[in-house]
Amino acid sequence: MNDSGNPRRPEGPGRRRIVKGLGIAAGGLLAGGAGFVGEQAWQEKDPPTPASAASVDSWQPPGRQVDVLWAVDTAQRLVALTFDDGPMERWTPQALDTLDAEKVTATFFVVGSRLVRNARLVHDRLGRHEVGNHTWKHDDLSKMSHANAYRSIHRTHTAIKEITGREATLLRPPWGRLGGTTLHVAAEHGYDLALWSLLVQDRRYGDDPAGLVEAVVDNTRPGTIVLAHDVGAPSRKVAVQQLPAIIRGLRAKGFEFVTVSQLRQAASGRATPGTGHAAPITAPSPPSRP
């Protein structure tokens, strides 16, 4: 909820203290931890640094609220598989083949420049999957000015629209690194941020495929967002090769696979349009974990 500008909002000393504290925090970030720059100096800084989520002027973002999702609260045994960093010859087609063979829906957070270069790999193959934004060149958004973050995210947004015919609504910042400017650009695009609650640990289990499968299946809970990669080192190929075993292991425990957006919709009790999933939408349930 954004109630800033509400004239009835109390403006007591407590609130002033909080604002001053924020000014100090921002000043410390601006100076690289070297000390307090001062609120006035901070306000005169232009353009905003990566640390700042402030808007320079009055604005009307399409998304006035940016959510950050690690997982969702649901009693339904739903899980969202997500794949980052593609599309690339290694190993996007293999991941798509498995998802097709197992009739599983997933979410791909694509790198814009790779999507443009490798559009043929995903042509006509992303129909039932969701596609999210993973920046133009796997950029570290925590270090980017507003202008550069906007360029990276918007270019990727446009590429996704042109190549898949759909507008992305989710942004996953590479490495989970984000700055204030990330939030600003996300709001400008109506995006929410999709992080993850379970990482497929391909490096740790590169020599232990069965252990990799077990770690995913044992640690998945209703509402888990699983992060895998469809691009990268040979250890990631191990993870892609184990995808059928992961899917079957989760199915054996009663899990159904949905996109991140479908997961959110199910958790909020809304219908899941066009999913083909018969999962009943139940009344909002208490959180399944702390």
| 86 scored as a contact of Zn ion (CB under 5 A) | no
Residue type, 109: F
- Which of 79, 85, 152, 178 binds Zn ion (CB under 5 A)? It is 85
Please pick, among 129, 134, 146, 229, the residue that the annotation labels catalytic: 229
Cis ω for the linkage preceding 47 (within 30 of 0): yes
- Which of 93, 174, 179, 180 binds Zn ion (CB under 5 A)? It is 174
Handedness of CA 175, 178, 182, 187 (dihedral sign): positive
Catalytic status, residue 184: no
Q: Choose between 23 and 157: whose C-beta lies nearer to Zn ion.
A: 157
Stretch of 13-21, 112-120, 174-182, 238-246 contacting Zn ion, by CB under 5 A: 174-182
User: Which strand (E) or helix (H) includes residue 154?
Assistant: helix 146-164
Q: Choose between 29 and 88: whose C-beta lies nearer to Zn ion.
A: 88
Stretch of 73-81, 155-163, 173-181, 202-210 contacting Zn ion, by CB under 5 A: 173-181
CA-CA-CA-CA dihedral for 81, 87, 92, 96, to nearest 10: 60
CA distance 67 to 149: 18
Helices 209-219, 243-252: axis angle to 10 degrees equals 40
CB 225 within 8 A of CB 194: yes
| 230 scored as a contact of Zn ion (CB under 5 A) | no
Stretch of 67-75, 143-151, 169-177, 279-287 contacting Zn ion, by CB under 5 A: 169-177
Catalytic status, residue 84: yes
Look at residues 144, 156, 179 and name the one whose alpha carbon lies nearest to residue 52: 179
Please pick, among 84, 85, 192, 230, the residue that the annotation labels catalytic: 84
Residue with tokens 């814009």: 112
Kindly state the smallest distance separating residue 33's Cβ from Zn ion, in Å.
27
- Which of 84, 130, 188, 256 binds Zn ion (CB under 5 A)? It is 84
- Name the residues annotated as catalytic: 84, 229
- Summarize as ranges the residues that interact with Zn ion (CB under 5 A): 84-85, 174
